[in-house]
Structure 1
Amino acid sequence: MPTELTTPTLLLVGGARAIPLSSDMTVQALTQARRRGMRTHVTGEAASLAGTPEVRALADITSAVDFARPGNTAEWARDRVAAGDRFDAVFGIQEMAQVSVAETAEAVGAPGNPPEAIRRIRAKDACRAVLAAEGFPQPAVRLCADRAEAAAFLAETAGPWIVKPRDAMGSIGVSQVFEPARLPAAIELLPSDDPFLVEEFVDGPEYSVEGFFQNGKPTILAITAKEKVAPPFFVEVGHVLPAELDPAVRIEIEQQVGDALTALGLRFGGFHVELWLTPSGVVLGEVHGRFGGDWIHRMLAHAIPGLELFGAIYDDMLGRADTSGDLRPARGAAARYMIPPPGRLTAIEGWDEVRAHPAVLYADLTAKVGDRINPVHKSSDRVGVVVVGAETPAAARELASELVSSVRFVVES
């Protein structure tokens, strides 16, 4: 049997947020590491570690380390290695942990993306600048310090426009501006007074591309079709995987995404790339050096039987990757979020029947009787989700919609 000195060790940076999605992904990541005989050391903020006992139960070691402080995790890891520890693979689930993941991998000599590449994609305007310089169609964008700079950008470009934080997640502070008079209201929705982005609105159906790197090259697993709430907000309320696309369009999307990831300098881990299909072709959106949220990891596991999403990352980092298998979706999956009308919730009917449906891969209801239902302006305003698997994407989409529609929310305005 391998000894502790020869057993590869996974450092999982950032642990999990104390919410079901983050915890579920982290539990799967740790379980798949254990199946590969890896020891696991999980770091994260003390409160998050305390709030995720299921993660602590699976980890061999946990340490309270604040991954949000620049360089903090890398410095901690260097000290641990100097004291005799080893980290063969460094990984993270959370979006906000990705810079620390890259810095730490570099610090301990483990495989990883260059930190500057991760910082580049985290700053959305910097990512757009690189893609535009490489010849990829991109909307005009400007980093603005205040309302005056934003108003100047509106005066120079054709609307409508999008106002959003430079570095955030969950659709927080993202809104559409149809006319300059609405700009102040959009700025008020931003989560902080930090410089923010204003960019041209891209009109077209939205998709995302899911995959991971093998031997330094991107492997695309699936394209996901998205549905969002009506403007001026852009919260995702539905996903179907794989997207039902003309083969030529699918090939064009995959080619552009693969080329863009390479141009941005990424080479390890998972990725989630957003894009639009416009009359003039593919326009790439945000690029993420981690897997997509909204239960896409569960959808992929159903659509590609036998896939271990996180385990494939570890295999690549440890030089064990097998690139000969078929990683194309053989089935369909869909996720649908519940968005009842705003008001005070007085009753919920039909939920138990939905949870018991045999095709449900995951179901969660976060609202309870007596809660106040808010309009959906950000991801956390959604009150529940149903994720289903089926033989085809069309069947999965139809079933998810049917199940969500069968739940009745009684709301008093």
Structure 2
Amino acid sequence: MSAGTDPATLLLVGGVRAVSLGLDMAELALDQAHERGLRTHLTNQEAVLAATEAVTGRAGAVSAVDFAVPGESAAWALRQVADGTRFDAVLALQEMAQVAAADTAEALALPGNPPEAVRRVRTKDACREALAAAGFRQPAVRLCVDATEAAAFLAASTGPWIVKPRDAMGSTGVSRITGPDGLADAVALLPGTGPFLVEEFVEGAEYSVEGLFLDGAPVVLAVTEKEKVEPPFFVEVGHILPAELPDARRTEIERTVAAALDVLGLRRGAFHVELWLGPDGIVLGEVHNRYGGDWIHRMLGHVIPGFQVYGLIYDDLLGLPRERADLTPVRAAAARYLTPPPGTVVAVDGWEEAAAHPDVLRAELAVGPGGTVRPLRTSGDRAGVIVVGADTPDQARKLARELADSVRFTVESA
């Protein structure tokens, strides 16, 4: 913060993707910044800025900077500072801009995560190696350049196996195989032609841990239970927050995740850590230096009344005084995705009634009459979502299911 009454300036590197979830995150982040009297400056790729006017119209200033070009965001920020602009905090909302934000914060000597730590968690095999070296349970994994290397890993390890991109999101290109016969099809599903990962499949219920860093230490806000489609794909179709777990198990999860984040070197912003509860205990999955997708940020805001998911991060980055609030969930929320069979949608019945339910926090229909439902292989193939709030996790789960089931799709098979 500068002397006098000049407001601090928040630099949001990488803006958001032009999808409803991203737009909502950015609008909420900007609103909570402005509530604190902060100036805001948002950067993103030029084409995305043009496609996200609802966000750019909220920001105090907007600049076209390509976060995907290594070093470009940091160099741009240094030029701005040399010309007299002041930045006081740097943050990225979306996954793909985390490295650019860390590089920029370091270049400006502002609080942020070490760039090498962010690169480590963004590179899935490097993150696995770091956690395994520190003694955390991890599935065996190999970075492969082609199907021949992948087949060699299969021969030397225990299946089933997961084939997935080294750097992607939304379950894109992720599939399970039970032997070499399925390898060619799994590789064909991968986006791009670069190196990919093959890792041993982990049995067990899946969860994620949501939280943020305050004063350099992780604060767990909630554990989320996941529901996924059956293999060979792993698209998430439901979330319940907070998960119903015994106190001892929840404490074990929180301590394990906190220790892992410390080993990985993350210190600022939000986190979303995936894990399995298997026969041998906790197995850590992917680590993200951001809030989870699938409307988890809105669910957190509901289950912890008065909690500002981004505002508290700004306070931490700027060193602003804050009251020690209780961040324990006192309510529950659930999300349920609509997954009709693939084909052309002829009609959708019951949507308006379901979306108008008083306990709905968010409802979005992605495919209407005349649209095409694709086979369910990635998050983008889901046909809609209903997010609800309730007093307990069980009530939230049941209501989300009931409302989702009340929406009836008439589909003409492809």
TM band (smaller chain): over 0.9
**What is the identity percentage for the equivalent residue pairs of Structure 1 and Structure 2?**
61
Report the counterpart of residue 102 of structure 1 in structure 2.
Answer: 102
Runs of 5+ consecutive residues of structure 2 not aligned to the other structure: none
- Tell me the SS of whatever aligns to 2:232: coil
Structure 1 position 329, deviation (Å): 0.4
- The CA distance in 2 between the partners of 1:72 and 1:174, in whole Å, is 31
Report the counterpart of residue 250 of structure 1 in structure 2.
Answer: 250
- The CA distance in 2 between the partners of 1:402 and 1:3, in whole Å, is 55
**Aligned residue type for 1:6:** D
- The CA distance in 2 between the partners of 1:321 and 1:387, in whole Å, is 33
Report the counterpart of residue 38 of structure 1 in structure 2.
Answer: 38
Report the counterpart of residue 118 of structure 1 in structure 2.
Answer: 118
**Aligned residue type for 1:133:** A
Report the counterpart of residue 333 of structure 1 in structure 2.
Answer: 333
Structure 1 position 368, deviation (Å): 1.4
- Tell me the SS of whatever aligns to 1:340: coil
- The CA distance in 1 between the partners of 2:107 and 2:85, in whole Å, is 13
Structure 1 position 119, deviation (Å): 0.3
The answer to whether the Cα contact below 8 Å between 1:175 and 1:186 also exists between their aligned partners in 2 is yes
**Aligned residue type for 1:45:** Q
Structure 1 position 181, deviation (Å): 0.9
- The CA distance in 1 between the partners of 2:302 and 2:290, in whole Å, is 19
Structure 1 position 3, deviation (Å): 8.8
Report the counterpart of residue 313 of structure 2 in structure 1.
Answer: 313
- Tell me the SS of whatever aligns to 1:128: helix
Runs of 5+ consecutive residues of structure 1 not aligned to the other structure: none
**Aligned positions of 1:48-63 closer than 5 A:** 48-63=48-63
**Aligned residue type for 2:123:** A
- The CA distance in 1 between the partners of 2:76 and 2:28, in whole Å, is 25
- The CA distance in 2 between the partners of 1:374 and 1:167, in whole Å, is 23
Inter-CA distance 323–115: structure 2 relative to 1 (3 Å threshold): farther
The answer to whether the Cα contact below 8 Å between 1:214 and 1:268 also exists between their aligned partners in 2 is yes
- The CA distance in 1 between the partners of 2:85 and 2:387, in whole Å, is 40
Structure 1 position 324, deviation (Å): 2.0
Report the counterpart of residue 362 of structure 2 in structure 1.
Answer: 362
**Aligned residue type for 2:304:** I
Deviates further, 5-14 or 201-210: 5-14
Superposed CA deviations along residues 91-119 of structure 1, whole A, max 9, x for unmatched, are 11110000001000001111100000000
**Aligned residue type for 1:75:** A
Deviates further, 366-375 or 120-129: 366-375
**Aligned positions of 1:216-365 closer than 5 A:** 216-320=216-320, 322=322, 324-365=324-365
- The CA distance in 1 between the partners of 2:204 and 2:4, in whole Å, is 53
Report the counterpart of residue 184 of structure 1 in structure 2.
Answer: 184
Structure 1 position 17, deviation (Å): 1.3
**Aligned residue type for 2:129:** A
- The CA distance in 1 between the partners of 2:275 and 2:370, in whole Å, is 39
> Over aligned residues, Cα RMSD in angstroms?
1.1
Inter-CA distance 17–4: structure 2 relative to 1 (3 Å threshold): farther
Superposed CA deviations along residues 46-92 of structure 1, whole A, max 9, x for unmatched, are 11111111111110100000000011100000100111111111011
Report the counterpart of residue 92 of structure 1 in structure 2.
Answer: 92
- The CA distance in 2 between the partners of 1:310 and 1:193, in whole Å, is 36
Inter-CA distance 365–321: structure 2 relative to 1 (3 Å threshold): farther
Report the counterpart of residue 199 of structure 1 in structure 2.
Answer: 199
- The CA distance in 2 between the partners of 1:263 and 1:16, in whole Å, is 29
Report the counterpart of residue 132 of structure 2 in structure 1.
Answer: 132
- The CA distance in 2 between the partners of 1:118 and 1:128, in whole Å, is 13
The answer to whether the Cα contact below 8 Å between 1:215 and 1:321 also exists between their aligned partners in 2 is no
The answer to whether the Cα contact below 8 Å between 1:214 and 1:321 also exists between their aligned partners in 2 is no
Report the counterpart of residue 372 of structure 1 in structure 2.
Answer: 372
**Aligned residue type for 1:59:** A
- The CA distance in 1 between the partners of 2:393 and 2:189, in whole Å, is 35
**Aligned residue type for 2:161:** W
- Tell me the SS of whatever aligns to 1:68: coil
- Tell me the SS of whatever aligns to 1:55: helix
- The CA distance in 2 between the partners of 1:365 and 1:225, in whole Å, is 23
- The CA distance in 1 between the partners of 2:69 and 2:231, in whole Å, is 35
The answer to whether the Cα contact below 8 Å between 1:214 and 1:323 also exists between their aligned partners in 2 is no
Q: How many residues get paired? A: 412
- The CA distance in 2 between the partners of 1:6 and 1:107, in whole Å, is 23
Structure 1 position 129, deviation (Å): 0.5
- Tell me the SS of whatever aligns to 1:58: coil
Report the counterpart of residue 174 of structure 2 in structure 1.
Answer: 174
- The CA distance in 2 between the partners of 1:345 and 1:54, in whole Å, is 29
- Tell me the SS of whatever aligns to 2:168: coil
**Aligned residue type for 2:120:** R
Inter-CA distance 3–50: structure 2 relative to 1 (3 Å threshold): farther
- Tell me the SS of whatever aligns to 1:347: strand
- Tell me the SS of whatever aligns to 2:111: coil
- Tell me the SS of whatever aligns to 1:198: strand
- Tell me the SS of whatever aligns to 2:57: helix
- The CA distance in 2 between the partners of 1:406 and 1:149, in whole Å, is 47
